[in-house]
């Protein structure tokens, strides 16, 4: 801590890149970005660690870049987690208020939230987040904070997020081997919501779709709470592969074509815009027009959005929201993604991105960095508030899982 400010570091370990951002914040939660580091992600596939050494190398490189820019040593961090192993389920908890005066206190909140976690899970899974949706006191429902209210019966609705312990341990191991301490693990789309959604959107209803390189993450908000979370094992890399196969070029060339000339809706492509194509040996072979390129992109992008729509319907809140749909993530930058999404969701669709001010912060005001900025904001909020509010406890799990696996590592 310096001049009343504290230092915090977030690491977004994605399929295509690893991004490290270190920042300071004061007692009013004012955030100042100090350093940014990035590296290629070679050990992650669809949110899962497939090569620990490659992942550690990438983390160390990104940390070093962030340290060099900020001039500060990074000692600890918060990270995000994703992958198809993530599961979400809604559940309820009910208790009788035991206080003599029947006034609900923090102990009652703890008890009812604990009861809401009484679900049967396979031994290899654990609860990552317990996210309150609302409370009910006797017959009065829709209560956000029942502290101080009088009642006999307290009920809560929650959204539980679970993860696979061993896959989570692999992420933890990568951080440990990078010689820094891990403070928190946060579900990626939950973190992302803190950088691209405001409270009005969460209260009145919105679905957030984060289209990354390896996965597409969905989180649905209504009445101020998380109603559904889901992870789809498709993303921008699948579009790149479709282009590579379709035009018979390298994955590297296909990625460049997608980013520079790609368009999500074939009907809006320019058939007169010619693109020079190179084969796998980097020899020029032919010209491709933008409409042809879009013919490889639109089907996969449409599939991703339709799967996201199916995931949203699972929330039980319908699929039309007051604030519609918000896209974010690197793949949301694909030209005319909004036009394609409008045709699929039949409601307002926008692209969400962080809105930071000052200095190097502007470099992060892009959908690509929504998650890493959200990790920072979530961690700051958790630091300031009673952890009961977000019901997130990772440190005990980190310590217990270290002991569980110490004979292996």
* pLDDT attached to residue 392: 43
Q: Is residue 64 part of a domain?
A: no
Q: What are phi and psi of 37, to 5 degrees?
A: -135, 140
The string over 328-344, giving b where at least 16 C-beta atoms fall within 10 Å of a residue's C-beta and e elsewhere, is: bbbbbbbbbbbebbbeb
Q: Is residue 395 part of a domain?
A: no
Q: Is residue 71 part of a domain?
A: no
Mean per-residue pLDDT pooled into runs of 10, the chain (409 residues) = 78 96 88 95 94 97 97 95 94 93 93 95 94 94 93 96 96 96 95 96 95 97 93 97 93 94 95 83 80 96 97 84 94 96 94 89 94 95 56 53 48
Q: Is residue 171 part of a domain?
A: no
d(CA 191, CA 154): 29
Q: How many domains does the chain fold into?
A: 1
Q: Is residue 135 part of a domain?
A: yes
Contact between residue 349 and residue 332 where contact means Cβ atoms under 8 Å apart? no
CA distances from 396 to 105, 234, 314, 355, 384 (A): 24, 32, 32, 33, 19
| CATH number of the domain within which 126 lies | 3.30.1490.110
Indicate the length of the chain as a whole number.
409
* pLDDT attached to residue 387: 38
Per the structure, the complete domain to which residue 138 belongs is given by 87-163
Q: Is residue 334 part of a domain?
A: no
Q: Is residue 272 part of a domain?
A: no
* pLDDT attached to residue 104: 94
Alpha-carbon radius of gyration of the chain: 22
* pLDDT attached to residue 400: 54
Q: Is residue 348 part of a domain?
A: no
């Amino acid at each position: 801590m310096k001049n009343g400010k504290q230092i915090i570091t977030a690491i977004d370990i994605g399929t295509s890149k690893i991004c490290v951002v270190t920042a300071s914040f004061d007692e009013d939660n004012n955030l100042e970005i100090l350093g940014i580091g990035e590296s290629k992600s070679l050990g992650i596939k669809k949110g899962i660690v497939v090569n620990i050494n490659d992942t550690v190398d990438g983390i160390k490189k990104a940390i070093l870049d962030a340290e060099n820019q900020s001039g500060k040593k990074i000692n600890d961090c918060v990270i995000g987690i994703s992958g198809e192993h993530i599961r979400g389920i809604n559940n309820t908890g009910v208790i009788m208020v035991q206080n003599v005066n029947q006034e609900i206190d923090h102990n009652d909140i703890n008890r009812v939230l604990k009861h809401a976690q009484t679900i049967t899970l396979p031994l290899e899974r654990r609860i990552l987040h317990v996210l309150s949706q609302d409370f009910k006191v006797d017959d009065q429902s829709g209560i956000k904070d029942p502290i101080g209210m009088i009642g006999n019966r307290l009920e809560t609705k929650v959204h539980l997020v679970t993860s696979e312990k061993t896959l989570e341990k692999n992420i933890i191991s990568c951080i440990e081997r990078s010689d820094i301490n891990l403070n928190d693990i946060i579900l990626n789309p939950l973190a992302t919501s803190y950088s691209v959604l405001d409270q009005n959107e969460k209260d009145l209803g919105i679905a957030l779709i984060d289209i990354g390189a390896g996965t597409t993450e969905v989180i649905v908000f209504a009445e101020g709470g998380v109603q559904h979370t889901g992870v789809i094992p498709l993303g921008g890399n699948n579009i790149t592969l479709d282009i590579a196969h379709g035009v018979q070029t390298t994955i590297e060339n296909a990625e460049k074509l997608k980013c520079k000339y790609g368009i999500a809706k074939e009907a809006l492509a320019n058939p007169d815009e010619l693109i020079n194509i190179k084969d796998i040996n980097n020899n020029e072979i032919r010209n491709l027009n933008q409409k042809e390129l879009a013919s490889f992109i639109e089907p996969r992008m449409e599939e991703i959005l339709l799967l996201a729509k199916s995931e949203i319907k699972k929330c039980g809140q319908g699929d039309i929201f007051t604030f519609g749909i918000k896209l974010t993530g690197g793949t949301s930058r694909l030209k005319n993604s909004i036009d394609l999404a409008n045709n699929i969701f039949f409601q307002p669709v926008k692209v969400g991105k962080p809105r930071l001010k000052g200095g190097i912060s502007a470099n992060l005001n892009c959908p690509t960095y929504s998650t890493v900025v959200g990790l920072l904001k979530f961690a700051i909020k958790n630091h300031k508030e009673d952890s009961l509010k977000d019901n997130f406890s990772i440190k005990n799990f980190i310590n217990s899982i270290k002991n569980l696996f110490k004979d292996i590592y």
